[in-house]
Amino acid sequence: MSTPPNFSPPILLTPSSLKSNTPLTNQIISLTNAAFARSKQSQPEKWRIRPRFPTLETYYEQMLVDGAIVAVVLDQCESDDSENSNTPSETIATQDTQAIASSSHFPDTIATQATQATPSSNTSPKTITTQRTQESHPTIPKGKVIATAAAVPWKGGWHSEGALTETGFEIKAVAVDGNEKYLHRGLAVQVMSALGDELVRQAQLEKLEKQMKEGEQENLEEERGVSGSLSLWILAAECINGEYWKKRGYKEVRRSTKGDLTWGCRTCFELVVFRRDVEF
């Protein structure tokens, strides 16, 4: 009988945190590569199976950019070198998950924010904090990374279309371990919700600071008076997980047909730009 999982709350990490923790970053890369390979295994005639992030440097360049945030959930009953560490990962397209939910809780620092929810619960996550080291990096509990997602500043679509007029963050590299004990537990939702909460918190603070400078905020301690909208973006192959994002509140903005070699495709597919606006 396998050991029941013990999920950590989602832990948010900055680029500097991950660059200083290569073993953790390698776990994230391995999980993501396995998940993306799994999503294409059912159509070998259409997709080449290749690593999403071939090297550590590739992950650094694409994901650990200024302003990026990475969320992870750990199984604290497993270790990264356990016999289950090479289990194929489940993709978000087949997860039994919910829409990203923004919380009313806004922790003081990104490095310490985490959300916790009963895996099968439909309620909003509870925000907690973790201890920090003297280097201002979060204390990471021991365990195996079994879910991850990242948010990076939006720079436009595949060919940077919209880069000059569109703002927000792109949700990228969402992956959940494929072991049966991790399926249908809402893990993808938890990491994405943690990202959404933090991005909203940052947007609120930025708007509040702007109002303070312009003298528009009469009560500087009343953050509840700050309102606005934050755009979350997705680039997706419609044939793989387009329906997943539509069911979770993302709306199509534009699409284009991509041919051979794009994302390892042998034929062609529809690349769709999705957006979800989060009001706060």
Tokens of 5: 């999982």
Percent of the chain at pLDDT exceeding 90? 66
What stretch of H or E contains 271? Answer: strand 269-279
| pLDDT given for residue 35 in this prediction | 95
Question: Strand, helix or coil at 193?
Answer: helix
The predicted model gives 29-52 an average pLDDT of: 94
In this structure, of 8-17, 167-176, 213-222, the range with the lowest mean pLDDT score is 213-222
pLDDT at 42 over 70: yes
Residue 232's nearest CA partner among 148, 170, 188 is 170
Number of Cβ within 10 Å of residue 45's Cβ equals 6
Residue 236 identity? A
pLDDT at 164 over 60: yes
pLDDT at 153 over 50: yes
pLDDT tens-digit series, residues 17-31: 999 999 999 999 999
| pLDDT given for residue 225 in this prediction | 66
pLDDT tens-digit series, residues 173-192: 999 999 999 988 999 999 99
| pLDDT given for residue 92 in this prediction | 40
Number of residues assigned to the chain: 280
Percent of the chain at pLDDT exceeding 70? 75
In this structure, of 94-103, 141-150, 210-219, the range with the lowest mean pLDDT score is 94-103
β-pair partners for 269: 258
Strands 229-237 and 251-258: unpaired
Local confidence band at 267 (pLDDT 50, 70, 90 cut-offs):
very high
Local confidence band at 104 (pLDDT 50, 70, 90 cut-offs):
very low
Asked if 276 and 250 count as a contact pair (C-beta separation under 8 A), the reply is: yes
In whole numbers, what is the pLDDT of the chain averaged over residues?
81
pTM: 0.78
Residue 169's nearest CA partner among 255, 232, 235 is 232
